[in-house]
């Protein structure tokens, strides 16, 4: 567990579960992926055992069961050190006169095993910063021969990075041709 002290906010949940991944390939690739997943799971169980006590084997059983813990339950098990102090909904703890947004958005947990009846709260999405204009010394990307509308649209979406990538691509083509 990260940090010297683990503090869970009120109304948060901690999910203890086996790691998962995707694999594509032949049987040998699948077996290698299984081996890596088991090593990963054993490592996570050892971290839980170091933090909370018990054996890695006990934690592996909990991970296989997919546990959803409240902050209080995580403290009881030793995975968290405390639950943050309570304060009024819509009020900042440090300044009771300061308004803070209510946590109305939630995660849909229905795809997970043993999901709790109440959804876990999530923070509102961050606002997107305005994109920086391209630097004056970077030319606008020209449409390359063979570009499809998709590539042109992607490059336009990624400006100013797209402009820099287009310059880099042209430079690499020129160096390869010379």
Q: Domain for residue 58, yes or no?
A: no
- Which ranges constitute the DSSP H helices of 53-160? 56-65, 71-77, 149-157
Q: Domain for residue 138, yes or no?
A: yes
Mean pLDDT (the chain) is: 76
**Residue 64 — pLDDT band, cuts 50, 70, 90?**
very high
Q: Domain for residue 160, yes or no?
A: yes
Two structure tokens written together for 46: 């050892």
Q: Domain for residue 173, yes or no?
A: yes
How many residues would you count in the chain?
Answer: 178
What pTM, to 2 d.p., does this model score? 0.53
Mean pLDDT of 72-88: 87
Task: Convert the pLDDT of each residue in 82-93 to its tens digit.
Answer: 999 865 444 445
**Residue 45 — pLDDT band, cuts 50, 70, 90?**
very high
- CA distances 43 to 14, 36, 123, Å, are 18, 11, 30
- State how beta strands 7-8 and 13-16 pair: unpaired
User: Domain of 154?
Assistant: 128-178
Number of separate domains in the chain? 1
pLDDT top residue among 138 and 76: 76
% of the chain residues with pLDDT over 90: 42
Using an 8 Å Cβ cutoff, are 87 and 93 in contact?
A: yes
């Amino acid at each position: 567990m990260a940090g010297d002290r683990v503090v869970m906010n009120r109304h948060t949940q901690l999910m203890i579960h086996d790691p998962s991944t995707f694999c594509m390939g032949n049987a040998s690739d699948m077996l290698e992926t299984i081996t890596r997943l088991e090593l990963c799971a054993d490592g996570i169980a050892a971290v839980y055992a170091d933090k909370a006590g018990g054996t890695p084997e006990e934690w592996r059983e909990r991970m296989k069961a997919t546990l959803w813990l409240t902050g209080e339950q995580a403290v009881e098990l030793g995975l968290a050190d405390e639950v943050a102090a309570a304060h009024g909904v819509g009020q900042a703890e440090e300044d009771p006169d300061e308004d803070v947004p209510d946590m109305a958005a939630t995660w849909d947990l229905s795809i997970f095993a043993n999901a709790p009846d109440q959804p876990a709260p999530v923070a509102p999405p961050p606002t997107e910063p305005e994109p920086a204009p391209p630097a004056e010394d970077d030319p606008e990307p020209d449409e390359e021969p063979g570009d499809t509308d998709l590539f042109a649209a992607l490059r336009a979406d990624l400006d100013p990075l797209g402009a820099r990538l287009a310059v880099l691509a042209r430079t690499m083509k020129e160096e390869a041709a010379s």
